[in-house]
């Protein structure tokens, strides 16, 4: 014979109500059509109440064990407090104590994200650095795209909240609620753009070239002097829409070819100073965990944040290129950070 079902929440509520009305356990069993022993057991368990939690004495950590923990934390980056203490054969320490000890000697950090670099990538990065080591980078236009969504990054929605206050509700929508693709460039101390890619447009070779024609060339490039155009070097990464034969030929017809079109090493966002500009803009538009309700509102925030970036900040980014090239050579093509 199979085991009967446990009492439901509704039945438990009825038992409490019937007891308040003075009904016996036998009468309640008949009313609910349940076994009398089941009703009686529930009443007995309810009357016993919760057992008081017995506080166990906390284990003391010796100075020798603290040194072992410190060495283990250095050898095991991103490990949990439990894994660190277990590697030192230190048991019986509650999580709160483990975390309190580790806070005095370490910090909770996320792993850094970076593109994978194999031997070929590193050699190409070194060749690129050697080729452009004597370049006057004030004449290079650094370009890239950035996508911003409505929800923003989850990791930036943390901060202090006063005692007694509730944390504000944060929206979590599919695909971050949708987003806007933004293109911009920086040269010397000047920001070019930002320009918004039309919603729903997927950037392939044809749409990318048409986008550049409608924004970059018509609104900025054609206003420049002939001497400026002659000396400017155009930089773009190796995205398929950028590096295709169609896009390369189209740029060549615009006069951007050969030495005027910078070659770019693979997997190298750390070498492009405009990536730092994107970080500045994102920090501004998503500060204090801000979120947006429409694509137009997040675009307006991007434009406002870009206007607040002054020429000195941009100049600092573009002038950092000499140092970046030397770092690439010093690290034999390795990742240099941003």
Query: Under a CB-based contact definition with an 8 Å cutoff, are residues 28 and 19 in contact?
Result: yes
Residue 2: the pLDDT is 43
Instruction: Give the best-scoring range by mean pLDDT among 104-108, 172-176, 331-335.
Output: 331-335
Question: Who wins on pLDDT, 114 or 192?
Answer: 192
Confidence of residue 289 (pLDDT cuts 50, 70, 90): confident
Which strands make up the sheet holding 140-149, listed edge to edge?
190-196, 179-187, 140-149, 233-235
The H helix count followed by the E strand count for the chain is 16, 4
The CA–CA distances, whole Å, from 95 to 92, 101, 190, 274 equal 10, 10, 52, 42
CATH topology (fold) of 119-156+176-331: Nucleotidyltransferase; domain 5 (3.30.420)
Residue 159 pLDDT exceeds 80:
no
**Average pLDDT of the segment spanning 173-192:** 90
**Average pLDDT of the segment spanning 116-123:** 92
DSSP letter (8 states) at residue 151: S
Residue 151: the pLDDT is 87
């Amino acid at each position: 014979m199979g085991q009967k079902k446990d009492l439901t929440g509704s039945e438990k509520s009825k038992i409490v109500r019937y007891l308040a009305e003075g009904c016996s356990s036998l009468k309640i069993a008949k009313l609910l059509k349940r076994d009398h022993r089941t009703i009686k057991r529930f009443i007995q368990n309810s009357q016993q109440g919760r057992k008081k939690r017995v506080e166990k004495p906390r284990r003391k950590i010796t100075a020798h064990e603290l040194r072992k923990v410190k060495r283990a934390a250095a050898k095991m980056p991103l490990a949990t407090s439990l894994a660190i203490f277990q590697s030192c054969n230190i048991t019986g320490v509650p999580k709160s104590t483990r975390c309190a000890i580790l806070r005095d000697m370490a910090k909770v950090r996320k792993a850094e994200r970076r593109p994978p670099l194999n031997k070929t990538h590193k050699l190409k990065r070194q060749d690129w650095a050697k080729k452009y080591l004597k370049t006057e980078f004030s004449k290079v236009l650094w370009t890239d795209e950035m996508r911003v969504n409505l929800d923003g990054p989850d990791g930036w929605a943390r901060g202090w909240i006063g005692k007694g206050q509730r944390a504000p509700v944060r929206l979590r929508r599919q695909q971050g609620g949708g987003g806007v693709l933004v293109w911009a460039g920086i040269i010397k101390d000047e920001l070019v753009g930002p320009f918004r890619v039309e919603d729903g447009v997927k950037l392939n070779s044809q749409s990318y070239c048409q986008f550049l024609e409608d924004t970059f060339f018509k609104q900025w490039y054609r206003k420049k002097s002939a001497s400026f155009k002659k000396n400017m070097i155009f930089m773009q990464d190796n995205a398929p829409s950028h590096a295709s034969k169609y896009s390369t030929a189209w740029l060549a017809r615009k006069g951007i070819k050969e030495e005027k079109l910078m070659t770019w090493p693979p997997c190298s966002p750390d070498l492009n100073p405009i990536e730092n500009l994107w970080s500045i803009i994102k920090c501004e538009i998503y500060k204090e965990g801000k979120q947006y309700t429409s694509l137009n509102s997040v675009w307006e925030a991007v434009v406002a944040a870009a206007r607040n970036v002054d020429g000195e900040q941009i100049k600092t980014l573009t002038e950092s290129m000499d140092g970046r090239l030397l770092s690439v050579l010093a690290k034999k093509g390795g990742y240099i950070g941003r």
